[in-house]
Structure 1
């Protein structure tokens, strides 16, 4: 039996909804808020582990971008990242100069903090996000007057899809 929930609108009107209907409405509201860019996820103190080459300057700039967004960055230096990327399932054509881990997701390359917050809010079934290569204008690769179009790719066992386009 579906138990009704009474929603009090005024003295005269009480609307009864089933639990299923209330949950559906709540889920729809949550999806709508994410779609318009309102999420309850904040970077404030969220730990992210970044592994990068000790000699890479743009990686330092990307970690600064994450810190500015509020993430708590654990910066690990490693001379050869190839075994780590292979172990984490980062496809070779999506690889970049640094790899990060947070909340069960792999973040590869110069992914904007905004998209990291979005994946945390939406929690899709995926391995992670990647920005292949080192596109000019991406976080950590800011060059005055230069910006290339690039995609943030959601990847995993179910395939790939464009998560965001810049």
Structure 2
């Protein structure tokens, strides 16, 4: 005869299940990059180590530039690769912690950027030797504001 669940066992099981934290699944970051860029691979490795799932697509320089424009990245704020996640753009060497904050806060914005390629940003050399840089929030009107500042190491 199969075992029966007592009311006490049922309540204990239900209570235990309610106490379990629900983990929201992190969306995948789709990265579009130039085929010859090694620092882009370094950034993807940084994201993977931080627990993000990634997909990578390679485009030639013209195709990548058109993609950035299509997503609303102003020319003055570009970097070498462009990611997209949950409706946001992630341009350049943005740290994973800032992407998580973006996803948690959900601002009405295009996304984040680290213009250029600052030394010591994720994928651009050792963080212990980094130069100071800012992560900028790209606003819908094309302007930007500082999202996070990183001091020189």
TM-score range (shorter-chain normalised) is 0.7 to 0.9
CA distance in structure 1 between the aligned counterparts of 2:23 and 2:101, rounded to whole angstroms: 8
Q: Which one has the bigger strand percentage? A: 1
Whole-angstrom distance in 1 between the partners of 2:138 and 2:91: 10
| 1:64 paired residue number | 45
Structure 2 unaligned regions, length at least 5: 1-21
Give the TM-score normalised by the residue count of structure 1.
Answer: 0.71
Task: Name the residue aligned to 1:51.
Answer: 32
- Cα deviation for residue 145 of structure 1 reads 5.8
Show structure 1 runs of 4+ deviating over 4 A: none
| SS of the residue 1:63 aligns to | helix
| Unmatched tracts of structure 1, length 5 or more | 1-39
Q: Alpha-carbon deviation of 1:146?
A: 3.0
TM-score, scaled relative to structure 2: 0.77
Provide the rounded CA distance (Å) in 1 between the counterparts of 2:108 and 2:66. Answer: 23
Q: CA offsets, 1:102-135, max 9 Å, x none?
A: 0000000000000000000000000000000000
CA distance in 2, matches of 1:145, 1:48: 26
Name the CA distance, whole Å, in 2 between partners of 1:53 and 1:155: 22
Q: Deviations over 1:22-57 (max 9, x none)?
A: xxxxxxxxxxxxxxxxxx987x65311000011000
Distance in 2 separating the partners of 1:154 and 1:73? 21
Cα RMSD after superposing both structures:
1.8
> Is the counterpart of residue 161 in structure 1 residue 142 in structure 2?
no
